Structure 1
């Protein structure tokens, strides 16, 4: 499964790496709403939440479906290049028409409407009911917010802007001042990679989950995720792809791929040190399937403690050597075993650090 961005014939200069204060604010607000997704940011989330004034905390709770389960596309850059300041990006957001703004803001969950050319809930009664149903599932305050947005978009849009400006004053301005140099430096490094070595190398530096695919009739950027989607970077008035680094992102790898929008990939700048890099969803599936078999679990009990030969494992578990070999092959293909030769013996041992990372890797695969 993946999100595909068609870039056939797209000039290299239309692939832009740049930090976005609006995108970083959205990522930070998501961390405050879902700190469990971001174990490395617990201290920041706890400290920031404790310092929020009750009025601001209440308003954030009222509108949190804009960033909690699905980040609304209005919280990502919409032009060819993100603004240098939050005010500049909010000014650009103000130029968006009401129908587009409301449709994007009320994309509360990963619904099928996102992938098609769904009608605006301002214009279509069925789309309006679907938007209200999704808001109702988040709670009465969120339902009231959605109703107000559908009834009076200009007033609620102004309310949202004031909310973001108050967040900037309360905590984000200091946060942005701290992280912006790091984000800008990363964007410069990726741009240099793109110019000197090409798109494939630049995307490989973004994440192993982002690749260039030439197997079809054209060229695509593929983002490995537990979802399918596609868009065309050559369509619309803002042709190209924008890649935005974030310090708040891991384990998420966010892709804006709504029809008619310039595609945006928000990628995490850092990840836990115990991880060498994100793995594909298919590898996670193979590892979970490998560990799910009862006999392989019994094998793992031995292999996690010491290296064993196939014959030793067969004797310990009272099964045939060929059967042990078949199960060892499954574990090895899933990348869970190390094998070494000791004289005429071949010993197998579990790669304990890989298994220890499985929880972290699985978290990234399902939240990516």
Structure 2
């Protein structure tokens, strides 16, 4: 599974790397709502949550499904305007959000209900009674709070837009302006670095620096983002936006909404962090460990290195059976081999196994 972006028509100068304060505010709200997704931010999130005024905390819960279970495209509003870029200040980007049509705003806000097709043209819910009914039913299945918000949104889009802008402005005054002043230099430095890579070495090198999960095919006509979802977008004259985030790690998000400019919203992290495992690697490793015989083999291989014959004798299996199971573990990258004289020794790669939990979580959240 992956998200694919066709870029055959993309001109190199139409790839832009630029930070977005509105997108970063969205990630700040997400980190506050789901601190378990961001272990490195748990101290910040806990301390901030304790300092928040109760009234603002209550308002944060009123529509947290816009940034908790999903990351609404409302935080990337410039993507809906052909050729537009992040404006660089929160006030200016909130002005860009105000320029969305009511239909665009409603479609993006109702993403949490999973009722709209994302990569193809959606029905106009404000003028389509059957679509409106489906949206309300889908929102109701998510809970009463979502149902109330969806009805309010469909009945009064301007009122919800005004509520959301006031809420985001109050969040900025309460905590985000201070956070952005600290985060902005890092994000601007990363944007300059990626822009220089684009200029000197090309798009493939720049995308590789964005994330190992983002690749450019050999023809230079398609970008593939390794994610546990399927999606497709095409870059036309509008170009491709790369937006770095500091608070968003480990999420690597791809905006590929129909009719909007594609955006890669990618995490900026310390260079010493190991690259994430691909979806294919995760699948192989989880499948390899799902067999009880291989689990028992791993118990011994975690403690020491053994030959195939030794493992066969310990487990009452034939050497060919053990070889087949070892082959599955080696293909998944869980077992290493080395030769000692005429013997081949196998051992569990405990570093890889130790990362399985974090790799699995990062793969789910990417």
Secondary structure, aligned partner of 2:86: coil
What corresponds to 1:91 in structure 2?
95
Q: Residues of 2 paired with 1:225 and 1:257: CA distance?
A: 13
What corresponds to 1:245 in structure 2?
244
Residues 115, 135 of structure 2: 8 Å contact kept: no
Task: Indicate yes or no: 2:215 matched with 1:223.
Answer: no
What corresponds to 2:195 in structure 1?
191
Residues 100, 120 of structure 1: 8 Å contact kept: no
User: Deviation of residue 133 (structure 1)?
Assistant: 2.6
Q: Residues of 1 paired with 2:300 and 2:196: CA distance?
A: 48
User: Deviation of residue 77 (structure 1)?
Assistant: 4.4
Secondary structure, aligned partner of 1:203: helix
User: Deviation of residue 361 (structure 1)?
Assistant: 0.5
Structure 1 stretches of 4+ with a deviation exceeding 6 A read none
What corresponds to 2:204 in structure 1?
200
Q: Residues of 1 paired with 2:351 and 2:114: CA distance?
A: 33
> Residues 349, 73 of structure 1: CA spacing in aligned structure 2 closer, same or farther, 3 A cutoff?
same
User: Deviation of residue 107 (structure 1)?
Assistant: 0.9
Q: How many residues align?
A: 362
Secondary structure, aligned partner of 1:114: coil
What corresponds to 1:285 in structure 2?
283
Q: Residues of 2 paired with 1:96 and 1:272: CA distance?
A: 37
1:131-159: CA deviation from partner (whole Å, max 9, x where unpaired): 22333234323322221221111121011
User: Deviation of residue 110 (structure 1)?
Assistant: 4.4
User: Deviation of residue 180 (structure 1)?
Assistant: 0.7
Q: 1:122 aligns with which of 108, 121, 126?
A: 126
User: Deviation of residue 9 (structure 1)?
Assistant: 2.7
CA RMSD of aligned residues (A): 1.6
User: Deviation of residue 315 (structure 1)?
Assistant: 1.1
User: Deviation of residue 272 (structure 1)?
Assistant: 9.9
Secondary structure, aligned partner of 1:106: helix
> Residues 56, 39 of structure 1: CA spacing in aligned structure 2 closer, same or farther, 3 A cutoff?
same
What corresponds to 1:318 in structure 2?
316
Residues 2, 223 of structure 1: 8 Å contact kept: yes
What corresponds to 2:153 in structure 1?
149
> Residues 286, 272 of structure 1: CA spacing in aligned structure 2 closer, same or farther, 3 A cutoff?
farther
Q: Residues of 1 paired with 2:144 and 2:271: CA distance?
A: 37
What corresponds to 1:367 in structure 2?
365
Secondary structure, aligned partner of 2:112: coil
Residues 244, 264 of structure 1: 8 Å contact kept: yes
Q: Residues of 2 paired with 1:182 and 1:111: CA distance?
A: 37
Q: Residues of 1 paired with 2:270 and 2:336: CA distance?
A: 25
Q: Which shifted more, 103-112 or 145-154?
A: 103-112
Task: Indicate yes or no: 2:230 matched with 1:232.
Answer: no
What corresponds to 2:57 in structure 1?
57
User: Deviation of residue 230 (structure 1)?
Assistant: 0.7
User: Deviation of residue 109 (structure 1)?
Assistant: 4.5
Secondary structure, aligned partner of 1:180: helix
1:155-177: CA deviation from partner (whole Å, max 9, x where unpaired): 21011000000000111111111
Q: Residues of 1 paired with 2:288 and 2:115: CA distance?
A: 32
User: Deviation of residue 112 (structure 1)?
Assistant: 5.3
Taking the TM superposition and a 5 Å limit, the aligned residue runs for 1:1-368 are: 1-79=1-79, 80-111=84-115, 113-214=117-218, 219-234=221-236, 239-270=238-269, 275-368=273-366
1:228-267: CA deviation from partner (whole Å, max 9, x where unpaired): 11111106xxx11111111122221111101100011111
**Gap regions ≥5 residues in structure 1:** none
User: Deviation of residue 13 (structure 1)?
Assistant: 1.1
Q: Residues of 2 paired with 1:326 and 1:225: CA distance?
A: 30
User: Deviation of residue 115 (structure 1)?
Assistant: 2.5
Secondary structure, aligned partner of 2:333: coil
TM-score by structure 1 length? 0.95
TM-score by structure 2 length? 0.95
**Gap regions ≥5 residues in structure 2:** none
Residues 23, 77 of structure 1: 8 Å contact kept: no
